[in-house]
Structure 1
Amino acid sequence: IPFSSTTKYQISIHAMEEGYCLLAMKGAPERILARCSTICTESGTQEMNDEMMEICDRACTELAEKGERVLGFADLVLDNQYTKEYPFCAEPPNFPRKNLRFVGFMSLIDPPRPQVPDAVERCRSAGIRVVMVTGDHPVTAKAIAREVGIISYEEVIEAFNINTIETLPPNLPFAKNKAIVIHGAALRDMNDQELDRILYNFREIVFARTSPTQKLHIVEGCQRLGEIVAVTGDGVNDAPALKKADIGIAMGISGSEVSQQSADMILLDDNFASIITGVEEGRRIFDNLKKSIAYTLASNVPEILPFLAFVLLNIPLPLGVMAILCIDLLTDMLPAISLAYERAESDIMLRPPRNPRKDKLVTRKLYFLAYGHIGLIEAMGGFFVYFAIMAEHGFMPMQLFGLRERWDSESVNDLLDHYGQEWTYQNRKELEYTCYTAFMISVVVTQWLDLVVCKTRSNSIFKQGMGNMVLNISLVVETVVACMLSYLPNMSYLKFYPILFRWWCYSLPFALLIFAFDEFRKWRIRKYPQGWYRKETYY
């Protein structure tokens, strides 16, 4: 009879040379001892009395407390009717399986990998709760859990039966700074409400001697509490839990084929620490996607406001369609991609897990920061450059309001500026296209610093550094492309004209304002975790 998680023992029958048959059984110590009526000692076979049973239990506990997996062994010489010609049947068994002779224990050491304690600690700092669910003896499970850091509290409640569970107070303060070890027998008698209460109140939990069905119930209980559940396993009995979990993780080396087929992900090195590396990489990718979106959205404001001003304020168009296309498809493309190569921030594994129902990839707070803060500063810089160039050529800001119809009229070739100079339609359009170019350059200059501040969500850029060479190169490429659009010959066909160097500098104060504002915002987020900046601008 092969070992199963239900019976927790394995039986084999051997035909001996003397002609009789010997039944040999091994399995969980408590299951083996329960079927034994005699014990093998130095002086021969003796009756299994209460004193002997207590000695065996104490020896088993001492081995289990060392974190060793204990197996019990027993045998039985079958009666003469059970010969090698006897038609033995495993299901249902047609041979005796009680009144066996207890032979002894064998303990196996399966030490956890050295990386596991550090990985468990990193899980705890990242807000990830590690719950141990095993088929081992509760004492063994408790010892291993304490060794790897799953149990860190001194006080541990051992719930070996439902009576212990029923006597636990329902309030959360009782469970503070306490761990609990729950036997499968107690878990079997618990209802969903009691299981949910245990999972909600206790931070450090170990389930021992569990069956495949109980593992599934534990996963369902965590999901009822709104948790995102990852399950690791390698055996056939782990398959239901692996399938039910939000992400099932099977072992690639020691894992069974059934567990691998039920899982969503397979660890090729069978190392628990690799899961933590995967969590960190996933958080980094999610972070970088947010940063790239925040960078891309910011330039939308200085692109749309010129058209609104053109329509509502009747001013000459500050930014042309071709310039917008060049910003979106040329100058902003590589910098947005380069943020994908940004290394993880130093606090990425110190943050609690995000709430998947609230913290989406694009949130209200991201729009608020990109459109309501960074984008507005960029638009202010663009309009400042636009009005400054117009003023340098004789058209003062107040004169531009309501000027659109006469400005765009081809029949008007004697439009007067502030100084009384006459402007033909052709001259006005050359000035307008120069403003297009200058406005686009202003967006590029302010996006330089926007790209730098988007490297982090909460850390200072001085701590993060400028080690992302793809991003550094993208800044150079962005600037070169802007120069090419402005200064290459025949770019007037695309409505781009050369601009003076000082016009580049007009938007630098606005770029520095973006940098200073964002550094201040991040400082407030770090200093006041419950403050307004954290609640409203931490995307």
Structure 2
Amino acid sequence: MGLGGRKRMAMPREQNPSPKPRRRPKGAKRRVKKKRKKIDVEDLKKEVVLDDHKLTLEQLSTKYSVDLTKGLSSEEAEKILIRDGPNVLTPPPTIPEWVKFCKQLFGGFSILLWTGAILCFVAYGIQAYFNEEPTKDNLYLGIVLAVVVVITGCFSYSQEAKSSKIMESFKSMVPQQALVIRGGEKIQIDVQNVVLGDLVEVKGGDRIPADIRLISAQGCKVDNSSLTGESEPQTRSPDFTHENPLETRNICFFSTNCVEGTARGIVIATGDSTIMGRIAILTSGLKVGKTPIAIEIENFIHLITSVAIFLGVAFFGLSLFLGYSWLEAVIFLIGIIVANVPEGLLATVTVCLTLTAKRMVRKNCLVKNLEAVETLGSTSTICSDKTGTLTQNRMTVAHLWFDKTIYEADTSGEHIGNTFDKGSDTWFILAQIAGLCNRADFKANQENLPIAKMSIHLREDSSQAHVLLMKGAPERILGFCSSYLLNGQEYSMDDEMKEAFQEAYLELGGLGERVLGFCFLNLPNTFSKGFKFNTDELNFPMNDLCFVGLISMIDPPRASVPDAVSKCRSAGVKRSISLTLMSSFKNKM
């Protein structure tokens, strides 16, 4: 089987002149089908076997019989579409509407009410059989119980059916289109008509219509968050960068979004054969667990049933003991059991959940299943990504330490918070170092290259001398320094300064902030203009630097986060867990 089990066209069987073979028993067929499904799921769980990302453009063109400039012809595309089927994910099996309606009528707490109604009818039947003019109390009670169950069942079904129709309408509001090249012409087609080997073009804002092997790209970046959860856009290029097809840059995956740039590629998988299709098949086979309210109702039914039967049997025996006839004892038995049934509970729960669902609709939250309302209400823990979700994903200066004083910076974004006196000479030099040592450039495949967190700049005054600026881990930076700057004046490093540094470092680090140290060195005139500095084999001094100060940074929370957290607290959510923090702990263990 290929990737994800590509659909095959069912070929007509040849006519067999021999006698028709005996059919296999239905049970055997069912066992074979179940076993085959299990094998298919096990195949899906295996690691993806794909080599299209390793092929050259010529090999790719040969494999899919496609011209890399003109694409497939319309006739070839039509044949492939008939062979493989449309480029859509197989929807999960749907539950018939009559089954949904019956679940609302006979599921959960409704069973207890139906049982009570039947017992009422039985009691009335017994009375009518033995008495010419029986009392109709049990008949009326049975009718009321049945009507309550039917009305609440219809109400719940109509509410969920309305939500389901709204969800279905969302899918058809904006039909997905794809730009393909067929016969040398660019045409817009429905995504479901994209076939294997199609030459596809995507641009910023487009949804990737299938798994694509890129053959050209200009500044292309894709958002893989729907597939991997990675919030940062990923660069895509025609280059083969990784053995793993899920990690290489020359493949774009179905259902992800192109956020910027343009790209052209060949479709290598469609529909259920895509990576997203494999995941969808695996997740559709998962068993749906019971909701908290369903579990509570089931436990409540067991409790009420046990109590009702116990009391009914006890009163039945007591009635016989006191000399009542068996008919009267049976009526007592049924009456006690029915009396323990809370007739109004089902209607009350249904109305409360429906009203809550309507309130959520006004807050732009559509509830597909009424039980989901209670599930949301019983949430006690929220697991959330930290970077970019709770925070702004932007490192911001929070505190500064210079002249032996800690200053708080403004992290509000509106620059209306705390500030400090920027007239200090030390602050001026610290700001210069931070600005000039802020030209980091991260490139791929540079894991083993040496990193020197320093920069050398030519003074803009008439001296034409160089100055060495350095930033890094505070304890390492302090080790290079033999002096420090205080109120713009340079002093020799002493124990008092080291102790003040240690206290400030521990205080800023204790706030959970990332701390950097800064220092500088005025190089002598021997390093004149045009001198070739070598940061790998150092040809300049790296000692006797002057320590300037510390800067600590944080990724500030979004402005709406405090209010959202307080609302979660008031709603009964006890804990909020940052998944980024959890993953960092896991990596350290």
The TM-score, its normalising length taken from structure 2, stands at 0.21
Greater strand proportion: 2
Q: Which has the higher contact order (CA 8 A, sep 6+)?
A: 2
The TM-score, its normalising length taken from structure 1, stands at 0.22
